[in-house]
Amino acid sequence: MIVATAITRDATMTDTAHRDGNVSAPGLPTLPRLSLNSPLALTGPVLVALPCLLAALFGMNTYAPYGADAAFGIAVGAAAVVAMAQTLILAARPPLVEPLFGGLDRMYRVHKWLGISAMVLMILHQQIEPDFERLVRETSLGDLGEEAGELAFNALLALVAVSWFRRLPFIGLEIPYQLWRFSHRFMGALFAIVVFHQFFVDMPAGVDPTFMLVLNAFGIAGVVAWIFTELLAPHLRRRDFTVSQISQTGDTTTLMLTPKGRAMRWRPGQFAFVRAPEAGLSEPHPFTIASAPRPDGSLTFSIRALGGWTRSLPATLRTGTRVQVEGPYGRFDFRKGGARQIWLAGGIGITPFLAWAESLTEAERRDIHLVHCVRTQDEAIGLETLRAAAARNPSFSFEVVVTARDGRLTAERLIGAVPFAIRQADLWFCGPTGLKDGILKGLKAQGQTPRRVRFEQFEFA
């Protein structure tokens, strides 16, 4: 079975808001990859879809006496409000909710599709707007609420469109990540205007107030989540670190960070958001933690230069520079796998495997073979960590495939390199989608489909 799990990382969120390798068709949103074999992966999407459906049914039933058009218009409007409220709640990254989606990458994909769904529902509500003029006593506050709703509708439509078409269709033009994120921060303010519209727009007297109470509760929850994300979370979740070491290998910058005060606890394979405001890098970007937990709380990030933010690191960061780290996130954990495992990394996708390798002890009894694919030898990072893990544990082995020298990795070569039958092993993957898809297709043709395939999704925003 194929299980898409955890968050993609490491590949840095660049100025284009996507990471190394896995880039979808320009401007066209990719469907979320859900595993039907993993109940946990479906729990979150079901839990967010259900309130939208129930709100629509509740609204339709409440306004059914006013005609089918009015009932349908209210129903889609209610579903839009609930969907938008939940996008803001998910954007707050509630730690207790992440496991219900199987990782933050899945949670953000649902967040994205909730926003798109809210946009579609808002358009329907606008086109089938209920007409209660003859049934209500109009008030100045109600008129203001109606005008506010029109304003928020058009502005939200524009922002959701920016989010959807970050890469403009067919021409490949990308909206800069900073502009994309800046526009996103207004979502909550516009949603607050929608909630104002919902509270005060003139509605017929005698309608069961329960429906509006439920809708108002979702609206308030969404606004509160946005306020928490923008004003409180940055102070509550970020920990201060200082750069203790910085080095460069090809186009990859490796940072070792030492905590100032309370250290962060994480599991190998998790990631965190990093920002360095005093160096002019105030936008948080997600990267895999490329090291196992250490007694002194220090951690390592290996960051490939993929955009303006990441390219500027060697020139802007120095030993002693203060950085802020938020996390950890993600659920990419090889210890949830079987007794035989293949770790396949493409390029900078090696970083979660470096953390895993560093965490291996002599007592580890899993048979593990790591294959790291790079274009040139200079791109191979963390070889010292891998050699130390192999020396420490004879059940762990690794090889580096340099495509410029050895040619590209094929399924046949992988079958010959792995010291056990692939069909009896779990395949863990992190890297470009093309590499994963090509290998899996070839393995299937050879009758060597792995027992399970677990991978990280590089499209994050």
Residue that wins the pLDDT comparison between 93 and 4: 93
Residue that wins the pLDDT comparison between 187 and 49: 49
For the segment 41-48, the average pLDDT, to the nearest whole number, is 83
- Does 210 lie in the same domain as 313? no
For the segment 121-148, the average pLDDT, to the nearest whole number, is 66
Q: Is residue 460 included in any domain, yes or no?
A: no
CATH of the domain at 368: 3.40.50.80
Position 187 confidence tier, pLDDT thresholds 50, 70, 90: confident
- Does 157 lie in the same domain as 293? no
Q: Is residue 24 included in any domain, yes or no?
A: no
Residue that wins the pLDDT comparison between 359 and 235: 359
Q: How many structural domains are present in the chain?
A: 3
pLDDT of 102 over the 70 cut: yes
Whether residue 260 contacts residue 250, with contact meaning beta carbons closer than 8 Å, is answered with no
Task: Please tell me the predicted confidence (pLDDT) of residue 197.
Answer: 76
Q: Is residue 21 included in any domain, yes or no?
A: no
Tell me the average pLDDT of the chain: 81
Q: Is residue 219 included in any domain, yes or no?
A: yes
Q: Is residue 365 included in any domain, yes or no?
A: yes
- Does 347 lie in the same domain as 296? no
- Does 340 lie in the same domain as 312? no
Residue closest to 456 by CA, chosen among 369, 338, 352: 352
Position 101 confidence tier, pLDDT thresholds 50, 70, 90: confident
pLDDT of 351 over the 60 cut: yes
CATH of the domain at 274: 2.40.30.10
Whether residue 303 contacts residue 255, with contact meaning beta carbons closer than 8 Å, is answered with yes
Q: Which of 329, 360, 394 represents a domain boundary (last residue)?
A: 329
- Does 267 lie in the same domain as 176? no
For the segment 17-24, the average pLDDT, to the nearest whole number, is 33
Q: Is residue 29 included in any domain, yes or no?
A: no
Q: Which of 235, 266, 298 represents a domain boundary (last residue)?
A: 235
Residue that wins the pLDDT comparison between 388 and 305: 388
For the segment 359-385, the average pLDDT, to the nearest whole number, is 93
- Does 387 lie in the same domain as 316? no
- Does 350 lie in the same domain as 251? no
Question: How many Å apart are CA 100 and CA 79, to the nearest integer?
Answer: 22
Task: Please tell me the predicted confidence (pLDDT) of residue 43.
Answer: 84
Which strands sit side by side in the sheet containing 2-4, from one edge to the other?
2-4, 452-455, 426-430, 340-346, 367-374, 396-402
Whether residue 12 contacts residue 18, with contact meaning beta carbons closer than 8 Å, is answered with no
Task: Please tell me the predicted confidence (pLDDT) of residue 209.
Answer: 83
pLDDT tens digit sequence for 363-372:
889 999 999 9
Whether residue 72 contacts residue 60, with contact meaning beta carbons closer than 8 Å, is answered with yes
- Does 347 lie in the same domain as 210? no
pLDDT of 232 over the 70 cut: yes
Tokens of 52: 């939208």
- Does 388 lie in the same domain as 446? yes
Q: Is residue 303 included in any domain, yes or no?
A: yes
For the segment 414-426, the average pLDDT, to the nearest whole number, is 93
- Does 254 lie in the same domain as 191? no
- Does 184 lie in the same domain as 165? yes
**Quick one: what percent of the chain has pLDDT higher than 90?**
44
pLDDT of 415 over the 80 cut: yes
Q: Which of 299, 329, 359 represents a domain boundary (last residue)?
A: 329
- Does 245 lie in the same domain as 224? no
The residue range of the domain holding 304 is 238-329
